[in-house]
Chains A and B, each alone.
Chain A
Amino acid sequence: MNDLFAFISDPDRLPVIWANYVSIGAFVVLAILVWLIPRRLIFADAKDQAAWRDIRWWATALIALQLTIYATFN
């Protein structure tokens, strides 16, 4: 087990920029999954079906912000 942790602790094998790529990839996958959730579940018992109540848009804005952060600070 310690050999495994030594392997993933080697900065030559795992350069730090990969961390930004992994984060960006994870957020892109998350954005796709968010939009796969059926609309009827999002609005469940909402007062009305106004566009601003679709929290998938909120999630998308949030993910866009995170993508900007991880693309900038590298």
Chain B
Amino acid sequence: MHTLDLLIIIGYLLLIVFVGLRLSGKVNNAHDFFLAGRSLAWWVIGLSIIGTNIGADSYIGAAGNAYNVGIAQANFEWIGAIPAMILASLVFIPLYWKAGVYSIAEYMGLRYSQAVRVLAAAITVVVAIFAIGVALWAIALTLQTYLGWPIWLGIMVTGTVVGLYSVAGGLAAVAFTDTLQVIIMFLGGLIIVGLGISQTGGMTSFAETLIAENPTHLQAYLPADHEGFPWPAVILGLGVVLSPAYWCAGQAILQRSLGARSQWDASAGMMFAALGKSFVPLLVVFPGLLALVMHANLEYPDMALPWVIKNVLPPGISGLMFIAIIAALQSTIDSGINSTSLLITRDIRHVLMPNANRDNDLKIGRYLTIGILLLAMCIAPLISNMGGIYSFIQTMLSLFQGPMLALLLLGAFTRRATPTAGLFTLLTGVPLAAVIMASGVNMLYVAFTSFVYALAALWIVSGFTAPSTQDLSKLTYFPWLSRTTPGAPAAAEPQAPTGEPRP
């Protein structure tokens, strides 16, 4: 590695630790630690959401998939994200804000029951810890490839750096470092696009070469009988179920929205993230297409991005791009440990130990942040021996996201859904999804089928079980009802979270 590259990497690592330690002085209680004292501006939220979203699979895996299937991979950033992000921005974020909750599990607890809250939190925590382990492993692998570091050293250094700023500065440090990381990602990505197009003789020449050799690589969708991404499965499974479940109910994503300085900033932050998300394919899909046009002849598709960095970028810039990959993975880890720590501290501990002293939340949140990070660091080296672990995480997500989304949608848009029906649907929907998956059906179809089942089960069982005793006016969304209609929500007046100050 060139000395200039190394200096840029060291400078970046020192900068993010400095930012985290600077922000630690502003963390006085759990409210500051988990929700940044509700101080985040819309542009910080937007960039931080993008940073959290772009992970190990996005950067390296998406470029590899694009090398194989072409621009259809970008559906994960377009139809598989944008409609759900608009829905989250205009409907769900105002709803959560109005309910005054810290987490989506807490909203589920208010809308349904504490059992649903704990179950939802527990599932999220387990998946998140494995996802953090995968991200740590991916960083260590990248450090080994570029710097020759042993895997254990990469995991230790990454864990220490992320731990320092996450434990010290909480969500504020996570959001601000994410912002910095996303700016670096876009900068590196745009330089690759510029240099790549220049080296292939311009945009027209690039497109002509690509289509001549790979006729379907500029088609947004692949045929209905495609093995990996058949278009009906992409629209039904990804667009209708997995994407709304991720963007409207994903704790790591929405936590920075709940830390906004106002409801408007929270909604605008998500919409700003959606604008940025539209251009993410330039960062994660274009390198795969570029490697194809430049005839990289790769042994494995996942080598597309490293090949582009090595063959297209000059010294200094390749260091910047290396940081962009590390940054993408770090932002996944920091957001994951902060949100997981919140779920255990509040949604599991407060429910299972109702007499626990809540003044200790900050201390417990920090200990948990360290504990979760250490656990993920222990899991990370095992990833190589558990080859299918990433597939396992994706499978887990497709198993429970259908039922979770059904609970969220019927909970938010109707008053019919009852606590008993919610728990029944969650407890039966996930095993049903597992049975369908065992029959060899595409993962995206499994998500859609379990979603349809969960909607039907929740609707039917709610018909003969006791309704919620909660005041549902702040937990449901009926914007078109008059402000004076009895029982209707009070025109989205933001409410302070229970027992917490609002600036």
Listed in ascending order, the chain A residues whose CB lies under 8 Å from chain B are 1-2, 5, 8-11, 13-14, 16, 18-20, 22-23, 26-27, 30, 34, 36-38, 40-47, 53, 55-56, 58-59, 61-63, 65-66, 69-70, 73-74
Contacts and interface: CB of A to CB of B under 8 A. Distances in A.
Contacts of A55: 89-90, 264, 267-268, 271
B224 A23 contact: no
Interface string B441-454: 11001000100000
B220 A20 contact: yes
B220 A53 contact: no
A11 B90 contact: no
A11 B86 contact: no
Contact of A69 (B220, B268, B275): B220
A22 B233 CA distance: 13
A14 B232 contact: yes
Nearest to A46: B264
Contact of B222 (A8, A16, A27): A16
A contacts with B: majority SS? helix
B79 interface: yes
Given A19-B221, A23-B220, A36-B480, A45 B494 contact: yes
B90 A37 contact: yes
B271 A58 contact: yes
B225 A9 contact: yes
A19 B235 contact: yes
Interface residues of B, number: 45
Interface in B69-102: 71, 78-79, 82-83, 86, 89-90, 94
Contacts of A9: 224-225, 230, 232
Nearest to A56: B90
A20 to B, nearest CB: 6
A59 B441 contact: no
Nearest to B262: A45
B225 to A, nearest CB: 5
A19 B220 contact: yes
A19 B234 contact: yes
A52 to B, nearest CB: 10
A53 B268 contact: yes
Interface in B428-464: 436, 439, 441-442, 445, 449
Q: Which 6 A-B pairs have the closest CB atoms?
A: A19-B221, A19-B231, A46-B264, A73-B220, A11-B223, A14-B224
A4 to B, nearest CB: 9
Given A62-B278, A66-B78, A45 B264 contact: yes
Contacts of B493: 44
B10 to A, nearest CB: 38
A30 B86 contact: yes
A42 B271 CA distance: 12
Given A26-B83, A73-B219, 16 more contacts: A2-B439, A8-B224, A8-B232, A14-B224, A16-B221, A22-B235, A34-B90, A37-B90, A40-B491, A41-B491, A44-B262, A45-B264, A55-B268, A55-B271, A59-B90, A69-B278
A59 B231 contact: no
A44 B83 contact: no
Nearest to B232: A8
B82 to A, nearest CB: 6
B479 interface: yes
A62 B82 contact: yes
A10 to B, nearest CB: 6
B218 interface: yes
B62 to A, nearest CB: 16
Contacts of A37: 90, 479
A11 to B, nearest CB: 4
Contacts of A11: 223-225
Nearest to B218: A73
Contacts of A63: 82, 86
A58 B275 contact: yes
B271 to A, nearest CB: 5
A34 B79 CA distance: 16
5 contacts: A13-B224, A19-B220, A26-B83, A36-B480, A59-B89
A20 B234 CA distance: 12
B274 interface: yes
A58 B436 CA distance: 40
Contact of A46 (B83, B86, B225, B262): B262
Given A14-B232, A62-B86, A23 B79 contact: yes
Contacts of B78: 66, 69-70
A26 B231 CA distance: 15
Contact of B264 (A8, A34, A38, A53): A53
B263 interface: yes
Contacts of B79: 23, 26, 66, 70
A10 B271 contact: no
